[in-house]
Amino acid sequence: MKVAIISDIHGNFDALSSFSETYDELWVLGDLVNYGPQPGEVIDYVREKAAIVLRGNHDQALAYGQDPHCVPPFRELAAETQKITDTLLNDEQRAYLRSLPTSLRFMRDRASFFLCHATPSNPLYGYLECHSPVWIEASAAVGVDYLLAGHTHIQFIRQLGGRIVANPGSLGQSASGGAEGRYAVWENGILSLKSLAYPVERTVEKVRSLPLSCSIQAKLIRLFEEGAIS
């Protein structure tokens, strides 16, 4: 069995539509929307293609009109783009976001999995760096072979006490450096990290057409092109 695992698409349909990995199942670890210019298209694609989809903090924010509780460098950016994203979604798409679970536990091919967007104890808003020792406690607490989470946009795999903790990275807005989309593949018991190139210049042109303030637009473009805003 081959599973493709993606997360944090953030309205970047150019990255998602460039995703050409073959799979038996597609799993999405949340944050389909906000920041990027095509949130509706991302939702519709994921609804059609994905076997498992989780709700992320930005999905929660758009579905319920809430604060996504971003880390300080992203708060202003998230607030301004959230207002625009809200105008680009229809009621059916918001209802879909509300329907998504915040975590799931299940088996595939005799392997056990726990999936969440952020952390098991705080699946929407928890924030742990890849080398945090708290992942040891988290993986032991859920007691599965694989603990998979997104949220930080940083791709990693750690083996902790016979269990694996991994983040596939962000497909639409990587913080691992550069403009490539990041994802993971689980096949026949082996988890691997991968990347893909996509036409980021198309995304940038779409961002330029959004009614954003000049400073926020510049930050957003740098985020897509370089994986940084500071």
**Residue 229 — pLDDT band, cuts 50, 70, 90?**
low
Number of neighbouring beta carbons within 10 Å of residue 188: 7
Instruction: Using CB atoms within 10 Å of the CB of residue 120, give its burial: 0 to 12 exposed, 13 to 18 middle, 19+ buried.
Output: buried
Decide the pairing of beta strands 103-108 and 52-53: unpaired
pLDDT tens per residue, range 76-88: 999 999 999 999 9
**Residue 177 — pLDDT band, cuts 50, 70, 90?**
confident
pLDDT tens per residue, range 89-125: 999 999 999 999 999 999 999 999 999 999 999 999 9
The rounded distance, in Å, linking the Cα atoms of 194 and 168 is 8
CA-based max dimension of the chain: 52
Domain containing 122: what range? 2-226
Q: How many domains does the chain have?
A: 1
**Residue 132 — pLDDT band, cuts 50, 70, 90?**
very high
- For residue 66, give both structure tokens: 């809430």
CATH number reported for the structural domain that contains residue 65 in this entry: 3.60.21.10
The predicted structure's pLDDT at residue 228: 76
Tell me the chain's radius of gyration from C-alpha atoms.
16
Q: What is the pTM of this model?
A: 0.97
Average pLDDT of the segment spanning 48-72: 97
**Residue 176 — pLDDT band, cuts 50, 70, 90?**
confident
The predicted structure's pLDDT at residue 218: 95
